[in-house]
Structure 1
Amino acid sequence: MPLPAKAFQHWLHDVAPATSTADICRTSGIKRTTLAQQLVRGKVAETTLVSISRALQRSPLQELASFENYAELAGNTRPPTPAELVSQIATMDLLRAVIDRSDSAAALPELSPGADVPAAATPELSPAPHATSVRNWVDAIDDGELRHRVSAATGVAPQNYSAQLTANRLSPELAVATAREAGVGFTGGLVAAGLITEAEAGWPPGARQRALDALSDGELAALAGERLQTLGKALRRQEHEQAQTEKIWENLG
C-alpha cells in the first residue's frame, strides 16, 4: 500500500529538515516530477521512501516501519528460513553448485591415501533478487493453502495474485501479507521483490551460501531439476508466443 503523502512529508521533514526537495531528489536519483506527481496524488511509492532512506544513509526497513501501514515490520525480526534463503539463489548458481560438487566428488579418488582434501573455491552467488525470486519465495513458504489465505485476507483476486508471481513482482503490501499468512519473517518477501537488499533486511553475510551448503547432494539435484523444468516451460512459452507473433506479421504481409 503506497504511503500517505502527508505522512511522507512529515517524515521527510523529520529526517532531512534542512535539505531541499531538489537536493533530496538529486542525491536519491528520483525525478522531481515523479515525486511531485506522487505527492499530488496523495500516495508515495515505497520505492521512493527506500531510495531517499538510502541517500540519507538511513535504514530503509526501519524507516518503512515508521509508517502506520508497515508498523508491524518493527515487531517481526524473525530471520529467513533456510528454504527462503535457498529460494533467493538464482537457478544458474544452483546448477553451478551441482557441477562443482560433481567435480569435487570425481576428483576425490585421485587423491593419495591420507592426503588432505583441497578446499574448493566457492563462486560468489549472484545478488538477490533473481529472475524467479518472487515465485520461488512463495513456493518455499507455501503449505498448499497460502495463496487462498492471502487472497481472502487482502481481497486480491487469486488470478491477480498469480499474475504478479508470474511476472516476478510483488507489491510490498502483498509481500508483507504473504509473510504474515505464512507465519514467517517479513523481510523475505521484501528482498524477493527487490525493495530492499539482504544487508538492509538484516540477513547475516553469507546466509544464502550457508543454506546452499547445507543441502544434501540429493536435495540440491532435485531442486536444480525443478528449477530447470520451470525454466524450460517458460522458454517454451516464450518461443510459442514469438512464433505466433511472427505468424501474425507474415499474414499481415
Structure 2
Amino acid sequence: MTVPAKVFLNWLDEVAGGASHAAVCRAAGIKRSTLAQQLVRGRVTMATVAAVSRSLHLPVVASIARFPQYQDLAAGGRAPTEAELLSQISDMDLLREILNRSAAVEAGSPAAQTMLSPVPHRASVRTWLDAVDPSELRQMVAREAGIAPQNLSAQITANRLTPELAITSAQLAGVGLTNGLVATGFLTPAEAGWRPGSRTAVLRRTTNSSLVSLAAERLEALGRTLRRTEQDSAAAQTVWENLG
C-alpha cells in the first residue's frame, strides 16, 4: 500500500501544521532516512501514513481513507463476524478456556475468565483466512492480485500478508475491509473499530462442543506445520552430513 509522495506531502502539511520532516519522524518513530528514501522513490507506504497518524493521535483508518485509492476503506469497515473474532484468539487461549471450563465443572463453580493474548497471534493470518473463506479464497486472491499461489502461501505460512492482499481478501470474502488488517497486525482492533471485549464475549458464548472442535482443527493445522518443519530440518541435516 503506497501513495504518491506529492499527495502524502500535501496531507502531511495539512495535518502536521508545518512541522519539519525530522520532527515528524521523531514523533512517529520512523528513521529520517526511511522517509527520505520513500520520498525520493515517489511512493510513501501506508505504514508511514499510519505511524504519522498515530503520533498525531489521528484515526488511522480515516487518515488512510483520505487518499483516493483507499477512500473505500473507512466506508467498507464492518464489525467482525463471530468466526473472525474467534480466529483472532490464539491456540493457547482456546486451550486455556477448555481447561478452565473443565475445572469449573469438576469443582462445581463458575469458570475462570480466560485473559486473552493480544492480536495478532502466531497463526492469525491463516486462521482469519480460514474463518472468512467462502470457497477457494486463497486461489481467488492469487488470481485477483496476479501473484503465484505459492508466493501467497509462503506469506501465510510466515504469518504475513501485505495490506493490499489483506484488503483484497476481505473484499472477495465479503467482510469488513479493515478486519484483515487486524489479523496482519497493521491495525489494532480498536483502530479497526472492533468493540472492546468482543473477542472475550464471543468466546464465552461459544459452546463446549464448538470450542473443542475449533481447538482440534487448530491443533491439526499446527501438527501439519510442525511436521513440515521437522522434515525440512531433517533434510537440511542430511545435506550437512553428506557435505561433511
Instruction: Give the TM-score normalised by structure 2.
Output: 0.94
- State how far apart, in whole Å, the 1-side matches of 2:9 and 2:227 are: 47
Structure 2 counterpart of 1:31 = 31
- State how far apart, in whole Å, the 1-side matches of 2:223 and 2:27 are: 42
Structure 2 counterpart of 1:22 = 22
Structure 2 counterpart of 1:162 = 153
For the 8 Å contact 2:77–2:192, the answer to whether it is kept is no
Structure 1 counterpart of 2:71 = 71
- State how far apart, in whole Å, the 2-side matches of 1:194 and 1:78 are: 17
SS of 2:80 mapped into structure 1 = coil
Map 1:131-210 to 2 at 5 A.
131-210=122-201
1:114-153 per-residue CA deviation (whole Å, 9 max, x = no partner) reads xxxx444313201111111111111101111322332333
SS of 2:89 mapped into structure 1 = coil
Structure 2 counterpart of 1:55 = 55
For the 8 Å contact 2:101–2:112, the answer to whether it is kept is no
Letter of the 1:53 counterpart = S
- State how far apart, in whole Å, the 2-side matches of 1:80 and 1:4 are: 31
Structure 2 counterpart of 1:9 = 9
- State how far apart, in whole Å, the 1-side matches of 2:31 and 2:95 are: 40
- State how far apart, in whole Å, the 1-side matches of 2:106 and 2:154 are: 43
- State how far apart, in whole Å, the 2-side matches of 1:134 and 1:193 are: 6
Q: Which runs of 5+ in 2 are unaligned?
A: none
Structure 1 counterpart of 2:229 = 238
| Structure with max Cα Rg | 1
- State how far apart, in whole Å, the 2-side matches of 1:149 and 1:63 are: 29
Letter of the 1:200 counterpart = E
- State how far apart, in whole Å, the 2-side matches of 1:69 and 1:129 are: 26
Structure 1 counterpart of 2:40 = 40
Instruction: Give the TM-score normalised by structure 1.
Output: 0.91
Structure 1 counterpart of 2:212 = 221
- State how far apart, in whole Å, the 2-side matches of 1:62 and 1:180 are: 18
Q: Which runs of 5+ in 1 are unaligned?
A: 109-117
Count of matched residue pairs: 244
- State how far apart, in whole Å, the 1-side matches of 2:160 and 2:189 are: 17
239-248 vs 213-222, greater mean Cα deviation: 239-248
For the 8 Å contact 2:104–2:110, the answer to whether it is kept is no
SS of 1:44 mapped into structure 2 = strand
- State how far apart, in whole Å, the 2-side matches of 1:39 and 1:101 are: 54
SS of 1:3 mapped into structure 2 = strand
- State how far apart, in whole Å, the 1-side matches of 2:141 and 2:243 are: 44
Structure 2 counterpart of 1:112 = none
